Structure 1
Amino acid sequence: MTSLWLDRPDLPAYPGVPPGRSCDVAVVGGGLTGLTTALLLARAGASVALLEARRLGAVTTGNSTGKVTLLQGTKLARVARRHSTATLRTYVEANREGQQWLLRYCTEHDVPFQTRPDLVVAQSPGGRDRVGEVHDAAHEAQLPVEWLEDAGLPMPTFGVARLPDQAQLDTMDLVLALARDIERHGGEIFENSRVHGLHQGSPNRVAVGEVEVAADRVVLATGTPVLDRGAFFARLSPHRTHALALDVPGPLPQVMAITGDEPFRSLRTAPTADGERLVVAGAGHPVGRAVSTRELVMELTRWVTELFPGAVPTHVWAAQDYRGTDELPSVGPLLPRSDRVLVATGFDKWGLAMGPAAALAISSAILEGQMIWTHPLRTWRPGGLAGLDKVVTLNAGVASRLARDKLSPRVHSSAVVPPEGQGRVERDAGHDVAVSTVDGVTRRLTASCTHLGGVVSWNDAEHTWDCPLHGSRFAADGQVLEGPATCALRTLEQPR
């Protein structure tokens, strides 16, 4: 499954990190937040090494919908329910700073983007109140939002919150521009360099396989922090969203839109060399907990092809995001009273504005500056108990799931291998074993996630093993794809 943005021949390749590398700042993660942080620091004269576990943009950035908006679906309404008006406005101000920086950068570096109104749409009478809450929260945040009855979409609507002059882009155009700029300013980029440990000291020593990188400061821009210190995995809820790009006969609506009530759907257009395409996202679910991700994708496909007759899918992909339990992102020190390791997480699907904002905040902190709007978004902020009820609920659910999975009945080890594209967890000599067949190859792996031991489940749309506890994901061969896990699932011998 390759996204529309990642399906291009001009993606550069960077080497793995060599032994003996040292720098002022090691930035871990080659998505938008990590790239922007690395660039800001390199521009300021710091020596920077960017360490990406896979390829630049390979995780959330290259698989997003590419919307750069301040309206953000139902996000503002959810923030408003839990926080003061001042905090809501601070959250919007942070996103505005990030959005303005990004669009200014695109203009200066010839990265194409399109200006569009952004709509949050009620698709049922019951959704009207939810979209009304979005409108009211946006108005409270001092955004120039307006209320409409008709969205101008080929679907019934029951109320629309509309924010003009937002933006959309091809995220990999931006990734490539940032990467070139980092190198122009003396920064180094290393791919296939997965970080699996850190020894804090003066300097910090970042473990990448058998190699260590010495760095005075470390920035974790990895979606969810890949180091367990600070237990951020217990304060984040991982979600996965599927997306399609489609060729559609006839004109397309020139708006960005997202529904404010279930089933959640997102729409935008995308100019390509072959003409304009429609990009649709939805079929969201907690990571590792869908009965069949393939069925979710099929349902999304049926919905869009009924809405746009003659639409033909050209690309199918998915992205993963993390929601903070108090609805706010967390930007700042990984641990209290220490600024040697910094983190940015909890963007909740809206990282194209918040990611650059986080980069501005982190680079400012490293360079001994300050941005007032960062205060309510700090990692160890006062008032962080606003999400304590959700922390308790989330982790009670995690514990319950772990116990249930360990005790659930399994198919016992069998000579009957799963059919192509399928996987299952078997019981073999008292141990859970993950068995799958992909591309004609049947593999047997340990079924316990290498993060905290959750029993992985098969993702039949993406042919991966996904952990339902904290969102770690593994390829069919056991290699880590994303999440807090840093070690692969162990390969087991085939039964004789």
Structure 2
Amino acid sequence: MSALWKQDPRPVPTQPFERGAHRDVVIVGAGLTGLSTGVMLARDGFDVAVLDAGDIAAGASGSNTGKVSLLQGSTLSTIRAHHPASLVHAYVEANRAGQEWILAFADAAGVDRTTHTAYSYAQSADGTDTVDAEHDAAREAGLSTRIAAADELAGLPFPVARAVALDDQTALDPDDLTRALAAAFVAAGGTLHTGVRVMGMSVIPRPEVRTTLGEMTAGQVVLATGIPIIDRGLTFAKVSGSRSYCVAFDTPDPVPEGLYLSVDGPTRSLRPVAEHGSRLIVGGNGHPVGRAESERRLVEDLVTWTQQHFPGAEPTHRWSAQDYTSHNLIPFVGVLPRGLGRVRFATGYAKWGLTNAPWAALRLAAEIRGQAREELPQWMRQIGTRLTMPGDLGRGIVENAKVAGAAARGWVGAERTAVPVPRPAEGEGVVAERHGRPVGISTVGGVTRAVSAVCSHLGGVLDWNDAERSWDCPLHASRFAPDGTRLEGPARRDLPCLVQRSDD
């Protein structure tokens, strides 16, 4: 599964890793947060290195729908239901600052973008109250939203019962954007290392990042890895990981010009892609990582829905992305606990990284510069003060109960089937028990492999992802390739590969 944006990536200059080097700032993760922070600091004269285990924007930063919008489904009304209006206003102002920074950068860098009206819509009458609540919360927070007129929605080929609209929002190619950020970072004097995986870190006597190619020291470290790969602060227990899917279609007829996101389920997200002719991207069907009966069926459901409402639409690309949501719905940005003030992180963007990541970078850069609190904008001071409300605690309790349930089910399920098992068909995987330990057996590309099916993070039993052909952890969203290589999530170590057999 490969994103539409990843078909013809532009090369970005990288440098060989220098073991033992010291930098003012080391940033782990070459996505939107890491690269934006790197650009800001490098332009200020800091000696900055950005490290990534993969390529530029290999995760959600390069695999989203490319919407740069302040209207975000039912986000504002959901926050407002449990928090004061001042926090919702701070969240909107933070996203506005992030949007302004990223669009100014895109324009200066020559990244193409288009302007659209964004719509949060209800698919049926059951969702109309949510639309109204989102409109009320948005207006209270200072956004110029409006309830879309009936004639504005009349020609849509998919069901819309009611919608709140926000004009002058943006869509772009996220891979073009992140590669432009990488080029600007290097041009400003930054050092970019790809294919360098961080395995650990210490902070005494000074921060040291341990990688597969050696060590690097720094004055400050920023963890911009989707979710921190260091467990200090137990952030993995304060956020939940989800996967959602996108399919790009060629269509025989023109597609709607707006940016659409449903507020009721199943989630449907739509946007046009003008630079590719009559093309539509449809996303949705998000679910907790490792807890879907069949990820492949969720992708096919998007195809079926689109072809039902857009006759003749032909899928051209399919992909997915992984996102994290904090239990109080506000991103975590700032100092990592037990990092002696030398380690910072950002996570919990809840699928809105194109506006949340740049404001996170603005705050991280301000802290690293040593700006006094009174010099910071009001939204930055407000959003940096986390309020834990009863609803937040409730969501956290429910999510961690689900994690505990998934852990128990995984071990019980593995004991139901013992090795040996029939060789899985191409693209399939199964978990079985061997000497009291779960083993994951899969066949991909004609090669059958057996790996430990116990997550190297906290011991969850892995589940086979039949859409992306990976082993996914239902506890804290770590993912692994069929051969056990760690792909993403809080885990740092690969899975042991026990057996490998090829058709050849």
Map 1:176-191 to 2 at 5 A.
176-191=179-194
AA aligned to 1:366 is I
Aligned to 2:378: 372
C-alpha deviation, 1:175, in angstroms? 1.1
CA contact (8 A) 1:66 1:352 kept: yes
Residues in 1 aligned to 2:302 and 2:485: alpha-carbon distance in whole angstroms: 28
Aligned to 1:461: 467
Aligned to 2:71: 71
**Residues 438-447 or 125-134, more deviating:** 125-134
Is 1:325 aligned with 2:289?
Answer: no
CA contact (8 A) 1:15 1:192 kept: no
Is 1:305 aligned with 2:311?
Answer: no
1:392 pairs with one of 387, 391, 397: 397
Aligned to 2:31: 31
CA contact (8 A) 1:42 1:182 kept: yes
Aligned to 1:334: 336
C-alpha deviation, 1:338, in angstroms? 3.5
Aligned to 2:115: 115
C-alpha deviation, 1:410, in angstroms? 3.0
Helix, strand or coil: the match of 2:497? coil
Aligned to 1:354: 356
Residues 9 and 167 of structure 1, relative CA distance in 2, 3 Å threshold: closer
CA contact (8 A) 2:249 2:314 kept: yes
Map 1:24-423 to 2 at 5 A.
24-150=24-150, 151=153, 152-272=155-275, 274-335=276-337, 338-369=340-371, 370-378=376-384, 381=386, 383=388, 387-408=392-413, 409-414=415-420, 416-423=422-429
AA aligned to 1:31 is G
Helix, strand or coil: the match of 1:167? strand
AA aligned to 1:305 is Q
C-alpha deviation, 1:146, in angstroms? 0.4
**Residues 147-156 or 214-223, more deviating:** 147-156
Helix, strand or coil: the match of 1:394? helix
Residues in 2 aligned to 1:196 and 1:410: alpha-carbon distance in whole angstroms: 34
CA contact (8 A) 2:328 2:388 kept: no
Helix, strand or coil: the match of 1:279? strand
CA contact (8 A) 1:94 1:357 kept: yes
AA aligned to 1:217 is Q
Aligned to 1:492: 498
C-alpha deviation, 1:275, in angstroms? 1.9
C-alpha deviation, 1:148, in angstroms? 1.9
Relative to the length of structure 1, the TM-score reads: 0.96
Residues 447 and 41 of structure 1, relative CA distance in 2, 3 Å threshold: same
Please give the per-residue CA displacement for 1:131-166, whole angstroms capped at 9, x wherever unaligned. Answer: 111111111111100002433421232111000000
Residues in 2 aligned to 1:160 and 1:421: alpha-carbon distance in whole angstroms: 40
C-alpha RMSD of matched pairs (Å): 1.6
Please give the per-residue CA displacement for 1:185-209, whole angstroms capped at 9, x wherever unaligned. Answer: 1100001111121110242100112
C-alpha deviation, 1:122, in angstroms? 0.9
Please give the per-residue CA displacement for 1:305-338, whole angstroms capped at 9, x wherever unaligned. Answer: 1111100111000001001001111110011683
AA aligned to 1:90 is A
Aligned to 1:483: 489
Residues in 2 aligned to 1:365 and 1:475: alpha-carbon distance in whole angstroms: 37
Q: How many residues align?
A: 493
Residues 15 and 47 of structure 1, relative CA distance in 2, 3 Å threshold: closer
Residues in 2 aligned to 1:67 and 1:324: alpha-carbon distance in whole angstroms: 21
Residues in 2 aligned to 1:201 and 1:108: alpha-carbon distance in whole angstroms: 40
Alignment gaps of 5+ in structure 2 = none
Residues in 2 aligned to 1:337 and 1:451: alpha-carbon distance in whole angstroms: 20
Percent identity over paired residues: 43
Residues in 2 aligned to 1:433 and 1:13: alpha-carbon distance in whole angstroms: 40
Relative to the length of structure 2, the TM-score reads: 0.95
CA contact (8 A) 2:15 2:191 kept: no
